[in-house]
Structure 1
Amino acid sequence: MTPTTLDDWIDLDARHRPELLGYCYRMLGSAVDADEAVQETMLRAWRGRAGFTGAASPRVWLFRIATNVCLDQLRRRPRREHPVDVTAAGDASSPLGVGEPARWVGPAPDRWLLSPGPDPAETVVRRESVRLAFVAALHTLSAPQRATLILRDVLKFSADETAGLLGITVAAANGLLRRARGRLAERPAPAAGLTDSQRALLARFVEAFERYDVPALTSLLHEDATLAMPPYGLWLAGRAEISRWFRREDSPCRASRLVPIEANGSPAFAIYHEDGGLRAFAVLVVEVAGDRVAALEAHLEPRLFGLFGLPAELAVAQSPCGSEALTAATTWS
């Protein structure tokens, strides 16, 4: 049935937008780009609605359009990467340099990426498929390989549907899938959820960060922890170098407040810093390994806050911190 009325389109959008956002994010590596791609997808669908015959489902129809939108974007833009994968570690005394927002993989809200399911094992695998490191690994694949892998292994489209979406034969689609799986075969096994002790570690991390107690904060890091700060390429390796960075006199993180959010299936926080009020500053994604923090990735892009449903300025004088701050982060478990 062709969606024709406004109510039809509102319903179509509500049913398919979250999944489309997750697909476009994995394809493009940017929540901002994914949001724009889905807007363009729905616009093209509306304009081309007369050509929808019902031979395929509305879901397949929309994903065919979204695939073409993403492939069009990828032809015009460089592949997104992870700073720690492609550049050498910097020095804490170095300037941030020039931002390159179109180069680096960025975070996205879990509500785009993780749909609840009855199988806990499948939930673990899906969460691992949206970690920032895995999304960066996806971007080492060619665009057709990436699309095929996501459509088949994440979104569970059939081989026939995937081939139709990409405008290729089933044999060609299966070949792309084999090559994509082979390229990613060396990825580590999916990690288990956070333990109670790791949740307590995150509570201490938040408390130390909001007090700006650098010794306490850095004591929670692994000796070889990393700190990256996209859209800048500068990243730091090691607890000592990260401590030097936080001790800089011009650090904007002093007097910050952290609000827990759900990003990429990982512990994450929205950082508001003091600038004549508590203003949006960065989305911080935290990787925990064992009993310490292994990696910090602070995405210094305030425009991300709107995509996470957050205001540009924090209205309250103080955000919840410590163990209270972690109660909202339900998908971390």
Structure 2
Amino acid sequence: MTDLLTAAMAGEPGAFDRLVGPHRAELEAHCYRMVGSLHDAQDLVQETLLRAWRGLGGFDGRGPIRPWLYRIATNRCLTLLERRGRRELPTDLAPGAAEAAERSWLEPYPDQRLDAPGQSAEQRYVLREGVELAFVAALQHLPARQRAALVLCEVLAFTAEEAAGMLDTSVPAVTSALQRARRTLRGRAHSQQDVQRALGDAGVRDLADRYTAAWEAGDVDGIVAMLTDDARYAMPPQPAWFEGRAAIREFLIGGPLGSQWLFRPARANGQLAFATYLRERPHERWVAGGLDVLALRGDRIAEVVSFLGPEVFVAFGLPTSLDPTDDPAAPAGL
């Protein structure tokens, strides 16, 4: 790295990008965990790398550059969090809420942004576990510096001493913040990576196929049968959400299942996900409905968060509409 650092400090074209490039994806995931927004995370990474470029002369090169970049990124996140409220999911509100004050909603995160050449299966597992919706949503309820200490030490495996250096505080302060954060997050949902591993690839595919088939057939009983008894269904930015099979069944019959749906696999937050398209009249274009991110418990669905709106599809690089011929049941010639 010393030669590359020297070249970057000398302004050699492309040297700085080669120096920081291997860390860009993990820095973005880190910022996403901290602030709960893909768009904010992208902006924060740009700020981080700009500050790193301008401050490169102050990096002595005696250690790896990764902790130095995380120091900059974490402090950029803390600065943003000082002037902005936390991001939430509708399930932070009372069930059935019809309205909410000004709120910022948690955003989904595309799995493909976590991918990097040469990753091991274990590295992919850790990265995806660290952006699961339940975990990121829980982090948003921690004070910002507790959040930073927990992510730095427990997700990224920095020592308390390293985290203290990044946060300009003492080791006892980091240790105390970690203890408080762990108490707050105690009892959070099981890792979706563990659930999916236990089901196996074939089990996950089977569940996904059955769920898709039930939705595309408008089979409310088939959908509800796949849910846990205490399943939750939310649709940000709509604040209302539903809990339990009976409530979800009533909602589906009175709303979404009045339309025809097409489901396509997607990759979000390390979880089973679908890009959903709907049309209200036969033989017209399918239009973006929502990005559905599912949480599993065993072989059943414990939660569906459907992020509504075409802007989510754009952020994930998904088409916002499909031709009528994409319907597998459409008559030939459409």
Bin the TM-score by the shorter chain: 0.7 to 0.9
CA offsets 1:271-310 (integer angstroms, 9 cap, x no match): 2333863333321011222343221110114323233232
Equivalenced residue count is: 313
- 1:59-106: CA deviation from partner (whole Å, max 9, x where unpaired): 22221221121111111111223322x322118xxxx64696x53322
**Which letter does structure 2 place at the counterpart of 1:264?**
N
User: Residue 76 of structure 1 corresponds to which residue in structure 2?
Assistant: 83
**What's the CA shift for 1:10?**
2.6
1:138 alignment partner in structure 2: 139
Instruction: Please tell me whether the aligned partners of residues 114 and 265 of structure 1 are also in contact (alpha carbons under 8 angstroms).
Output: no
Indicate whether 1:167 and 2:168 are aligned. yes
Q: Indicate the residue corresponding to 1:148 in structure 2.
A: 149
Contact 1:108–1:263 (CA under 8 A) maintained in structure 2: yes
Q: Which moved more, 1:140-149 or 1:194-203?
A: 194-203
Deviations 1:125-164 (A, max 9, x none): 6644432112121122211111111111211223332122
Residue 80 of structure 2 aligns to a residue whose secondary structure is: helix
Superposition deviation, residue 15 in structure 1: 0.8
Whether the 8 Å CA contact 1:236–1:242 is kept in 2: the answer is yes
Q: Pairwise mapping of residues 282-301 of structure 1 onto structure 2 (< 5 A)?
A: 282-301=290-309
Q: Structure 1 residues 28, 245: closer, same or farther in 2, change over 3 A?
A: same
CA contact (8 A) 2:33 2:130 kept: no
2:265 paired residue number = 260
* Distance of aligned partners of 1:211 and 1:189 in 2 relative to their CA distance in 1, 3 Å threshold: closer
State the one-letter code of the partner of 1:158: T
- Unaligned runs of 5+ residues in structure 1 are 322-333
| d(CA) in 1 for partners of 2:240, 2:184 | 27
Q: Tell me how far 1:214 sits from its aligned partner.
A: 2.7
Measured in 2, the distance between the counterparts of 1:258 and 1:158 equals 43
Relative to structure 1, is the Cα distance of residues 39 and 317 closer, same or farther in structure 2, using a 3 angstrom cutoff?
A: farther
Structure 1 equivalent of residue 104 of structure 2: 103
Moved more, 109-118 or 206-215: 109-118
Within-5 A mapping of 1:183-222: 183-190=184-191, 191-192=194-195, 193=197, 194-195=199-200, 196-222=202-228
Residue 229 (structure 1) shift? 0.7
Q: Counting helix residues as a fraction of each chain, which structure ranks higher?
A: 2
* 1:69 alignment partner AA: R
Question: What TM-score do the two structures reach when normalised by structure 2?
Answer: 0.81
Aligned partner of 2:248 in structure 1 is: 242
Comparing 41-50 with 132-141, greater Cα deviation is found at: 41-50
SS, match of residue 294 in structure 2: strand
Over 3 Å counting, the alpha-carbon distance change for 1:222 and 1:186 in structure 2 is closer
Q: Aligned with 2:67: secondary structure?
A: helix
Question: Residue 5 in 1 paired to residue 12 in 2?
Answer: yes
> Is residue 310 of structure 1 aligned with residue 293 of structure 2?
no
The answer to whether the 8 A contact 1:284-1:298 is kept is yes
Contact 2:228 2:302 (C-alpha < 8 Å) held by counterparts: yes
2:53 corresponds to 1:46:
yes
Judging changes above 3 Å, is the alpha-carbon distance between structure 1 residues 111 and 99 closer, same or farther for their aligned structure 2 residues?
farther
State which structure, 1 or 2, has the greater radius of gyration over its C-alpha atoms: 2
Residues 98-133 of structure 1 show CA distances to partners (whole Å, capped at 9, x for unaligned) of: 696x5332221224457786575x866664443211
Once the two structures are overlaid, the 10-residue window that deviates more, 199-208 or 109-118, is 109-118
Per the TM alignment, residue 259 of structure 1 is displaced from its structure 2 partner at its CA by: 1.9
> Over aligned residues, Cα RMSD in angstroms?
3.0
In structure 2, relative to structure 1, the CA distance for the partners of 1:272 and 1:38 (3 Å cut) is farther
Partner Cα separation in structure 2 for residue 182 and residue 20 of structure 1: 26
User: Per the alignment, in what secondary structure is the counterpart of residue 46 of structure 2?
Assistant: helix
Q: Specify every segment of 5 or more residues in structure 2 that has no aligned partner in the other structure, as ranges.
A: 330-334
CA 1:55–1:31 in structure 2 vs 1: closer, same or farther (change >3 Å)? same
- Partner of 1:141, secondary structure, is coil
Structure 1 distance, partners of 2:250, 2:225, is 13
Structure 1 position 237, deviation (Å): 1.5
The answer to whether the 8 A contact 2:25-2:115 is kept is: no
The corresponding residue for 1:274 is 279
**Displacement of 1:23:** 0.3
Partners of 1:179 and 1:270 in 2: CA distance: 37
Tell me the distance in 2 between the aligned counterparts of 1:316 and 1:151. Answer: 47
